[in-house]
Structure 1
Amino acid sequence: MALTDTLTRWRYRLVPDHLVGEVLSKRWIDNAIPLLILLAVVCAFSFAMPDFFGPSSISDLTRQWGEFSLLVLALMIVMVAGGIDLSIGSTFALGNIVALALIAVAGWPMWAVVLGTLACGAAVGLVNGLLVGYLRLRAFLTTLVTLIIVRAVVDMLLLNYSVAIASTFIDSDSWYYPGEGSVFGVPFSVVLTIILAIIIHLVFSRSRIGWQVLATGGSRRSAHNVGIPVRRVVCATYVVSGVLAALSGLLFASRLGGAGADTGVGLEIMALTAAVLGGNSLGGGRGSAAKAIIGSITAMIMVNGLIRMGVPAGANSLMLGLVLFTAVAIDVRWIKNLHKVVSKVYVSPAYASLPKPPGTDSYSPYAVNDKLAPVTLIGLGEIDGPEDIILDDDDNIYTGNRTGDVIRFFAPDYKQHEVYAHVGGRPLGLAFDKNGDLLVCIGGMGLYRVTKDREIEKLTDETNRSWLSVIDDSRLRLADDLDVALDGRVFFSEATVRYEMHEWPVDGLESRGNGRIICYDPSSKSTHTVLRNLKFPNGICMAHDGQSFFFAETWACTVSRYWFDGPKKGTVETVIPDLPGYPDNINRASDGTFWLALVGIRTPSLDLALKMPGFRRRMARRIAPDEWLYPNINTGCIVRFDATGTILDVMWDRGGENHPMITSMREHKGYLYIGGILNNRIGKLKLKSADKSWTGLASYWGQS
Structure 2
Amino acid sequence: MSLTDTFVRLRYRLLPDHVFGEILTKKWVDSAIPFFALVLMIAIFGPIVPRFFEFGTLSILSGELAELGLVVLGLAVVMISGGIDLSVGSTYALAVTAALYGMNVLGLSLPAGLALTLAVGAACGAVNGFLVGVLRMRAFLTTLVTLIIGRSIFDIVFPKISTDIVMNAPNSPAYDVLGMGHLAGLPVSFWGMAAIALALHVVLSRGRYGWRLLAVGGARRSAHNAGIHVRRTVFSAYVLCSVLVALGGFLFAARIGSAASDIGAGLELQALTATVLGGISLGGGRGSVAKALMGTVFVLILSSALLALAIPGPVNQLLLGLVLVAAVFLDVRWVKNRHKLLRAVYISPTFAKLPEAIPTDSGVMQPNDRLRAAEPIGLGIMDGAEDVIFDRDDNLYTGSRDGDIVRWFAPDYTRHEIFAHTGGAPQGMTFDAEGNMAVCVGGMGLYQVTPGGEVRLLTAETNRSWTSVADDSVMKLADDCDILPDGRIIFSEATVRFEMHDWYADALESRGNGRLIIYDPRTKATCTVLGDLVFPNGVCTSYDGVSVLFAESWGCRINRYYYAGPKKGRMERVIEGLPGYPDNINRASDGNYWLALMGARTPALDLALEMPGFRRRMARRVSQDAWLMPNLNTGCVLKFNEQGEILESYWDLGGTRHPMITSMREHRGALYLCGIFNNRMGRLALPQADQSWCGVDTYWGAK
TM tier, smaller: over 0.9
Q: Aligned partner of 1:647: which letter?
A: I
Which residue is equivalent to 1:624? 623
Which residue is equivalent to 2:489? 490
Q: Report the Cα offset of residue 194 of structure 1.
A: 3.1
Matched, 1:693 2:684: no
Measured at CA, do residues 398 and 195 of structure 1 come closer, stay the same or move farther in structure 2, by a change above 3 Å?
farther
Q: What secondary structure does 2:476 align onto?
A: coil
Matched, 1:232 2:232: yes
The answer to whether the 8 A contact 2:103-2:171 is kept is: no
Query: Over residues 385-428 of structure 1, what are the superposed CA-to-partner deviations in whole Å (9 max), with x where a residue is unaligned?
Result: 11011111111111110011111111111111111111111111
CA distance in 2, matches of 1:159, 1:559: 86
- Of residues 303-312 and 249-258 in structure 1, the stretch that sits farther from structure 2 once superposed is 249-258
Q: What secondary structure does 2:531 align onto?
A: strand
Q: Report the Cα offset of residue 155 of structure 1.
A: 4.2
Q: What is the count of residue pairs matched by the alignment?
A: 703
Measured at CA, do residues 182 and 652 of structure 1 come closer, stay the same or move farther in structure 2, by a change above 3 Å?
farther
Measured at CA, do residues 434 and 50 of structure 1 come closer, stay the same or move farther in structure 2, by a change above 3 Å?
farther
The answer to whether the 8 A contact 2:49-2:308 is kept is: no
Q: What secondary structure does 2:629 align onto?
A: coil
Query: Over residues 249-287 of structure 1, what are the superposed CA-to-partner deviations in whole Å (9 max), with x where a residue is unaligned?
Result: 122222223233222221111111111111222232332
Q: Aligned partner of 1:663: which letter?
A: T
The answer to whether the 8 A contact 1:536-1:554 is kept is: yes
Q: Report the Cα offset of residue 172 of structure 1.
A: 3.0
Which residue is equivalent to 1:246? 246
Percent identity of paired positions between Structure 1 and Structure 2 = 55
Q: Report the Cα offset of residue 169 of structure 1.
A: 4.0
Q: Report the Cα offset of residue 354 of structure 1.
A: 0.5
Give runs of aligned pairs for residues 284-683 of structure 1, distance below 5 A.
Answer: 284-363=284-363, 365-683=364-682
Which residue is equivalent to 1:141? 141
Measured at CA, do residues 434 and 106 of structure 1 come closer, stay the same or move farther in structure 2, by a change above 3 Å?
farther
Measured at CA, do residues 191 and 257 of structure 1 come closer, stay the same or move farther in structure 2, by a change above 3 Å?
same
The answer to whether the 8 A contact 2:107-2:171 is kept is: no
CA distance in 2, matches of 1:523, 1:615: 48
Query: Over residues 2-48 of structure 1, what are the superposed CA-to-partner deviations in whole Å (9 max), with x where a residue is unaligned?
Result: 22111111111111111122222333222222112111110111121
Q: Aligned partner of 2:198: which letter?
A: I
CA distance in 1, matches of 2:191, 2:47: 29
The answer to whether the 8 A contact 2:635-2:660 is kept is: yes
Q: Report the Cα offset of residue 60 of structure 1.
A: 0.8
Measured at CA, do residues 194 and 373 of structure 1 come closer, stay the same or move farther in structure 2, by a change above 3 Å?
same
Measured at CA, do residues 126 and 629 of structure 1 come closer, stay the same or move farther in structure 2, by a change above 3 Å?
same
Give runs of aligned pairs for residues 245-284 of structure 1, distance below 5 A.
Answer: 245-284=245-284
Q: What secondary structure does 1:48 align onto?
A: coil
Which residue is equivalent to 1:37? 37
The answer to whether the 8 A contact 1:517-1:530 is kept is: yes
Measured at CA, do residues 544 and 93 of structure 1 come closer, stay the same or move farther in structure 2, by a change above 3 Å?
same
CA distance in 2, matches of 1:457, 1:95: 53
Which residue is equivalent to 1:54? 54
CA distance in 1, matches of 2:444, 2:354: 32
The answer to whether the 8 A contact 2:104-2:171 is kept is: no
Query: Over residues 663-696 of structure 1, what are the superposed CA-to-partner deviations in whole Å (9 max), with x where a residue is unaligned?
Result: 1111222222211101111111222222223222
Measured at CA, do residues 209 and 546 of structure 1 come closer, stay the same or move farther in structure 2, by a change above 3 Å?
farther
Query: Over residues 429-465 of structure 1, what are the superposed CA-to-partner deviations in whole Å (9 max), with x where a residue is unaligned?
Result: 1111222111111111111112223222111112222
Query: Over residues 627-679 of structure 1, what are the superposed CA-to-partner deviations in whole Å (9 max), with x where a residue is unaligned?
Result: 11111111111111122212122222233222111111112222222111011
Matched, 1:14 2:29: no
Q: Aligned partner of 1:203: which letter?
A: V
Query: Over residues 325-356 of structure 1, what are the superposed CA-to-partner deviations in whole Å (9 max), with x where a residue is unaligned?
Result: 22222322344344333222222111000000
Q: Report the Cα offset of residue 371 of structure 1.
A: 2.4
CA distance in 2, matches of 1:182, 1:624: 61
Which residue is equivalent to 2:176? 176
Q: Report the Cα offset of residue 156 of structure 1.
A: 4.8
Q: Report the Cα offset of residue 473 of structure 1.
A: 0.8
CA distance in 2, matches of 1:662, 1:601: 11
CA distance in 2, matches of 1:50, 1:460: 58
Q: Aligned partner of 2:612: which letter?
A: P
The answer to whether the 8 A contact 1:440-1:447 is kept is: yes
The answer to whether the 8 A contact 2:59-2:185 is kept is: no
Measured at CA, do residues 152 and 563 of structure 1 come closer, stay the same or move farther in structure 2, by a change above 3 Å?
same
CA distance in 2, matches of 1:463, 1:110: 52
- Of residues 391-400 and 209-218 in structure 1, the stretch that sits farther from structure 2 once superposed is 209-218
Which residue is equivalent to 1:76? 76
Q: Report the Cα offset of residue 232 of structure 1.
A: 2.1
Measured at CA, do residues 658 and 199 of structure 1 come closer, stay the same or move farther in structure 2, by a change above 3 Å?
farther
Matched, 1:95 2:95: yes
- Of residues 52-61 and 88-97 in structure 1, the stretch that sits farther from structure 2 once superposed is 88-97
Q: What secondary structure does 2:398 align onto?
A: strand
The answer to whether the 8 A contact 1:442-1:448 is kept is: yes
CA distance in 2, matches of 1:181, 1:661: 75
Measured at CA, do residues 488 and 111 of structure 1 come closer, stay the same or move farther in structure 2, by a change above 3 Å?
farther
Q: What secondary structure does 1:677 align onto?
A: coil
CA distance in 1, matches of 2:79, 2:450: 46
Relative to the length of structure 2, the TM-score reads: 0.96
Q: Report the Cα offset of residue 545 of structure 1.
A: 3.4
CA distance in 1, matches of 2:564, 2:178: 62
Q: Report the Cα offset of residue 218 of structure 1.
A: 3.1
Q: Aligned partner of 1:38: which letter?
A: L
Query: Over residues 511-565 of structure 1, what are the superposed CA-to-partner deviations in whole Å (9 max), with x where a residue is unaligned?
Result: 1111111222222212222211111011111123333211110000111111123
Q: Aligned partner of 1:61: which letter?
A: L
Q: Aligned partner of 1:535: which letter?
A: V
Q: What secondary structure does 1:464 align onto?
A: coil
The answer to whether the 8 A contact 1:158-1:259 is kept is: no
CA distance in 1, matches of 2:231, 2:428: 43
Query: Over residues 288-319 of structure 1, what are the superposed CA-to-partner deviations in whole Å (9 max), with x where a residue is unaligned?
Result: 22221111010000000011111111221111
CA distance in 2, matches of 1:228, 1:320: 37
CA root-mean-square deviation: 2.0
Relative to the length of structure 1, the TM-score reads: 0.96
CA distance in 1, matches of 2:286, 2:119: 28
Measured at CA, do residues 438 and 140 of structure 1 come closer, stay the same or move farther in structure 2, by a change above 3 Å?
same
Q: Aligned partner of 2:498: which letter?
A: Y
Measured at CA, do residues 456 and 185 of structure 1 come closer, stay the same or move farther in structure 2, by a change above 3 Å?
farther
The answer to whether the 8 A contact 2:389-2:429 is kept is: yes
Q: Report the Cα offset of residue 163 of structure 1.
A: 4.0
Measured at CA, do residues 43 and 156 of structure 1 come closer, stay the same or move farther in structure 2, by a change above 3 Å?
same
Q: What secondary structure does 2:372 align onto?
A: coil
Q: Aligned partner of 1:28: which letter?
A: W
CA distance in 1, matches of 2:183, 2:686: 78
Which residue is equivalent to 1:150? 150
Q: Report the Cα offset of residue 497 of structure 1.
A: 1.2
The answer to whether the 8 A contact 2:66-2:190 is kept is: yes
Q: Aligned partner of 2:148: which letter?
A: I
The answer to whether the 8 A contact 1:158-1:260 is kept is: no
Measured at CA, do residues 55 and 667 of structure 1 come closer, stay the same or move farther in structure 2, by a change above 3 Å?
same
The answer to whether the 8 A contact 1:638-1:650 is kept is: yes
CA distance in 2, matches of 1:97, 1:89: 12
CA distance in 2, matches of 1:402, 1:644: 36
